[in-house]
Structure 1
Amino acid sequence: MRVGIIGTGAIAVKHAQAYRNIGFPIVACANSGRLRGEEFAISTGAEFVGSNEELCRRPDVDYVDLCTLPSVRMEILGLCARYSKPLLMQKPMSVDLQTARAMVTQAEKAHIPLGVVSQHRFDDSVLFLKQALADGRLGRVLQADAYVKWHRSDEYYSRPIKGSWAGEGGGTLINQAIHQVDLLLHLVGPVARVFGEWKLGATHSIESEDMLVGTFRYANGAIGVMEASTSLWPGYPERLELHGTKGTAIITGDKLTTWDVENDIGDPPPLMSKASSGASDPMAISIVPFERQFQDFAQACSEGREPMCSGMDGFRALQVVTGLYDSCRKEQPVTIRAEF
């Protein structure tokens, strides 16, 4: 697959490393800042092009990888629809549900595959746990929790766009912890109701939250807790805890670190102690799950199926995030609508 990348910031560099490892050439790139775009082009062997439309209409681009800020993506999706280009975009897919819904609808009407990067679905730990849950090894899930107790420096938030409602859609929940929101939905199922409390600019000069605590009521009756922060020095690996009637599984960072299951049978769990995490360094994350997701998206394009993390999956994760934000503002529980 030949890829065109729009947006050449830090996460695009990670994407480029993954594409190099799996042999997907980046044939073209575009960026709002020409200097940074040209530097990325030189480092990747891509051709820098002057406009998003020029990139999207190129016949040698098999799909577009969108690494821009989430607030500026609808126009690019329209270009991909016009030129029949599959689109894979960084999380979160948008800063608001109305735009995200329109993205999913437009992609469906144009018959183009739409995917959202949620690479932790492809961690060995999550792949194992997804199958183990399907096999009933944990029994009925009673509680599913996520903890993202990270730290980000003042320098990280030095750009005015960082932590802004208009540019990024919020703070730590939508930018960092949305990965764990997606994993909870992926593993446990839909969330029916949320309740949240937050601190806006607790330790950083931002307008949105850098601390948030929420509770979940899942559609299947399970309950759970979400804790998200970028204010807790020095930062600790994120943790996902699933407790069922037959036992408990805990993922720390990207590794399965606890598997306590009564009378367990089946494949041995891939237990490990050392995990990769972006707890204090956003770039200290493994490339392998990116490689797997990009390969899955390419196969989905070739086979005419939905990618493992589709536009609808991105919408559902954003729906829970915005529901928690609404709850924090209203200081009351918020119901998550099951219908699209």
Structure 2
Amino acid sequence: MTRPRGRLRAAVVGTGAIAHGSHLPALADHCAEVELVAAVDVNTAQLDAFRAAAGNGVDGFTRLDEMLATARPDLVLLGSPPAFHREQTVEVLRAGAWVLCEKPLCLSLAEYDAIAAAEGPDGSPGPYASVVFQHRYGSGAAHARALLTTGQLGTPLVAHCQTTWYRDGAYYAVPWRGRWSSEGGGPAMGHGIHQMDLLLHLLGDWAEIRAMAGRLVHDVESEDVSTALVRFANGTMATVVNSVVSPHEVSRIRIDCSDATVELTHLYGHSNADWVYTPAPHAAADERRVETWRTPAADLPSSHSAQLESVLAAMRAGTRPPGSGPDARRTLEFVAALYKAAFTGMPVRAGEITSDDPYYTAMHGGHPAWAPADTAGGHR
């Protein structure tokens, strides 16, 4: 699909809180490059409220196909519930538009591969589908990744990835939450996936995972806590904790390298001030080196706006955007492997979940009931 020379045309599908609070400000930040022309929602009251907040010129639709045929957008931002993501993403791609979709992009590796089949072939100008992993973006994450991948912090040795949040019963009263068929999983799939994606973005390919999952508090189908031990391809060993039963909420990544520890502590977004570098005793005397760790070139917070900027640049260039293709699939495979390891009690290796594996088509591996009395794999 040839990209237009003028402003790109964008549409939003799903006009709830994420569209108001994140997509609308991101589009406003890039209004010189992209124009919001349409919005879609079956809830007409919610749709009207979004259009009023967006300003004049945004057409409203209750059907995705009608919007695509009438508005002919270049880019569609999907903020609908996860169960609709695969179908809507494929429909948008087949209409020739690019997609920026809220996590999870889909509910299984099988769905991901169906989306990949609807994209333009690699090396083509698209269209492509990218998943919202906004924690990868911003100057702090870019700086840390550059330091790690070039060896400036020494060899990565030990890591910790933590998403310990709190969600009450009212949160799970929303019908699609906590169900395998509509959310794809619990905090590993719907909450901790952001920090796990960032961990993979910083450390690269994972090799092996062992895990446990538990339903400790909430009366839902999926887990509300998971833990994992991970070995990366580069030898780094890591722990991962995902929870929605933790009153003191925090998102955290820590990576201990041979020359320094890098730590990120935040909740829903980070800036340079949230990244801390602690030199090892033998490296502390090199003040100039330590200062380069602590001074990124700019201070751009992580956000939907930061990720949208990269997507728009890829659209202009006609190249695959970050957070798509094999890059994003690696994160989804990691989550599927975490669930398989937890439910089978066995270690899972990268590349193990192929099309004949039950965890390829569903994160629960064919066991959606997951009775609390079943103690296999460490859950109650």
Q: TM-score, normalised by structure 1?
A: 0.89
1:154 paired residue number: 169
**Among 60, 63, 70, the residue aligned to 2:75:** 63
**Offset at residue 199 of structure 1 (A):** 1.0
2:319 paired residue number: 305
**Offset at residue 159 of structure 1 (A):** 1.2
In 2, the alpha carbon distance for the partners of 1:339 and 1:157 equals 30
**Offset at residue 304 of structure 1 (A):** 1.2
2:15 paired residue number: 8
2:378 paired residue number: none
The farther-off stretch of 9-18 and 162-171 is 9-18
Distance 1:137 1:299, change over 3 A: same
Distance 1:186 1:288, change over 3 A: closer
**Offset at residue 197 of structure 1 (A):** 0.7
Distance 1:95 1:247, change over 3 A: same
In structure 2, the gaps of 5 or more residues are 1-7, 355-380
Partner of 1:318: helix, strand, or coil?
helix
**Offset at residue 139 of structure 1 (A):** 0.9
Q: How does 1:155-170 map to 2 (within 5 A)?
A: 155-170=170-185
Larger radius of gyration between Structure 1 and Structure 2: 2
**Offset at residue 328 of structure 1 (A):** 1.0
Deviating runs (4+, > 4 A) in structure 1?
A: none
1:18 paired residue number: 26
In 2, the alpha carbon distance for the partners of 1:32 and 1:131 equals 43
Q: Deviations over 1:239-283 (max 9, x none)?
A: 101111111100011243420122361635159xxxxxxxxxxxx
Q: How does 1:104-123 map to 2 (within 5 A)?
A: 104-109=116-121, 111-123=126-138
1:210 paired residue number: 224
In 2, the alpha carbon distance for the partners of 1:193 and 1:107 equals 29
Contact 1:143 1:224 in 2 (8 A): yes
Q: Deviations over 1:111-147 (max 9, x none)?
A: 3122111111113321110111133221111122201
Q: How does 1:81-92 map to 2 (within 5 A)?
A: 81-92=93-104
1:258 and 2:268 matched: no
Contact 1:17 1:287 in 2 (8 A): no
**Among 296, 310, 333, the residue aligned to 1:296:** 310
**Offset at residue 176 of structure 1 (A):** 0.7
**Offset at residue 6 of structure 1 (A):** 0.8
**Among 38, 44, 48, the residue aligned to 1:28:** 38
In 2, the alpha carbon distance for the partners of 1:59 and 1:161 equals 29
In 2, the alpha carbon distance for the partners of 1:130 and 1:63 equals 28
**Counterpart amino acid of 2:253?**
L
In 2, the alpha carbon distance for the partners of 1:106 and 1:329 equals 31
**Offset at residue 73 of structure 1 (A):** 2.2
Contact 2:276 2:294 in 1 (8 A): no
Contact 1:116 1:310 in 2 (8 A): yes
**Among 132, 156, 159, the residue aligned to 1:141:** 156
**Counterpart amino acid of 2:30?**
I
Q: How does 1:93-112 map to 2 (within 5 A)?
A: 93-109=105-121, 111-112=126-127
1:334 and 2:337 matched: no
In 2, the alpha carbon distance for the partners of 1:134 and 1:195 equals 25
**Counterpart amino acid of 1:313?**
D
1:241 and 2:254 matched: yes
Same amino acid, percent of matched pairs: 26
In 1, the alpha carbon distance for the partners of 2:93 and 2:276 equals 44
Contact 1:327 1:333 in 2 (8 A): yes
**Counterpart amino acid of 1:267?**
T
2:190 paired residue number: 175
Distance 1:288 1:137, change over 3 A: closer
In 2, the alpha carbon distance for the partners of 1:71 and 1:336 equals 25
**Counterpart amino acid of 1:247?**
A
The farther-off stretch of 92-101 and 1-10 is 1-10
**Offset at residue 339 of structure 1 (A):** 9.6
Q: Deviations over 1:168-220 (max 9, x none)?
A: 001111111001111111110111111111112x2222111111111111111
In 2, the alpha carbon distance for the partners of 1:163 and 1:311 equals 27
Partner of 1:166: helix, strand, or coil?
helix
Partner of 2:67: helix, strand, or coil?
helix
Alignment: residue pair count: 324
Contact 1:93 1:314 in 2 (8 A): no
Partner of 2:276: helix, strand, or coil?
strand
**Counterpart amino acid of 1:42?**
A
In 2, the alpha carbon distance for the partners of 1:155 and 1:270 equals 42
Superposition RMSD on alpha carbons, in Å? 2.1
In 2, the alpha carbon distance for the partners of 1:103 and 1:140 equals 36
**Counterpart amino acid of 2:130?**
G
**Counterpart amino acid of 1:319?**
E
**Among 29, 34, 47, the residue aligned to 1:37:** 47
**Counterpart amino acid of 2:214?**
K
Distance 1:248 1:209, change over 3 A: same
**Counterpart amino acid of 1:269?**
R
**Counterpart amino acid of 1:259?**
Y
Partner of 1:16: helix, strand, or coil?
helix
**Among 253, 267, 279, the residue aligned to 2:292:** 267
